[in-house]
Every structure is written in structure tokens, then in C-alpha cells.
Structure 1
Amino acid sequence: LIAGAGVTIDVSGVIIKDIESSGGASFSALESTDDGNNTGWAFPAAASKTMYWVGGSGNWNDRIHWSQTSGGSGGYCV
């Protein structure tokens, strides 16, 4: 990716691999994963979140088991 100085490129919620950025712009991947071999990208630390397990047993990566509130509805986040 090439973008000129003074330009800000922000993406979020992505997995980035093998992407080179240049041209003087600011490239940031917010709440994203650096999967390696990237140059010119900033991966700021994500803010912490409090999440609650709901809905009994299951797989940790099933979003239906995560809620924003204790005893709330699932589907918040993985």
C-alpha cells in the first residue's frame, strides 16, 4: 500500500500478513492481528474488555457464549 505524507489509514478487526506500507502515511491496524511479515504498520494494543460467559458449556470461540453483562445475552464478542 502506498499513501502520501499526512494521510492516515486506519483499519480495524483484520488479520494482516505480508503487507508493506510506504509513502509517508500513517498506517494503523486497530484491534487487529499482526500475522507476520508486515512493514510500516502500527498495531496498537487493544483496550481491555470485561466479558461474561453465558449459556452453559461450549467452545470458548463461540460468540454466543460471550456477553457484555453478567447473565446477559450472548453474541458479544469472541
Structure 2
Amino acid sequence: INVDADRGVTVVNASGFYSGQDVKMLFVLAKQRQAPAIFRLISEIDPHAFVSQSAVIGVYGEGFDKIKYKSKKEHGV
């Protein structure tokens, strides 16, 4: 995913609730148009992977939008 889809990946050590097995959970934020390529890669690597897709209001930081905030002055403080 990092190489083929050019997206950053955060790896979280986790354990399956029912299986109790140690697993690696991959956390990827991508633009909607990148989803098909990422899903294809996931399917090729692990056809039994559990995948959750969510719509977000905003993503801020490296590779996405600049972090936005209002100063105290703008809030009337």
C-alpha cells in the first residue's frame, strides 16, 4: 500500500477478540479515488482481511490539508 498506492500506513499491534491471535492492524487514510487500488492490494495480500471504510469530514497533516484553527481573537476571546 505504501509503495503501490503511495499512501502512508500506520501499523498497530492488536489482538483478535474472538481468536485471541496477535495481528497487525493497518490504518490508512486515502482519498476516495484511491480506494479501488487499495482494496485490490488488500484483496491480493489477504483475501480474508477485515476492512472498514468511513467517510470523514477532514484529514489534516502531511499529504492532506493543512491543520486549520481559529485564533483566540477570531473566537472573540
* TM-score calculated relative to the size of structure 1: 0.30
Higher helix share: 2
Higher strand share: 1
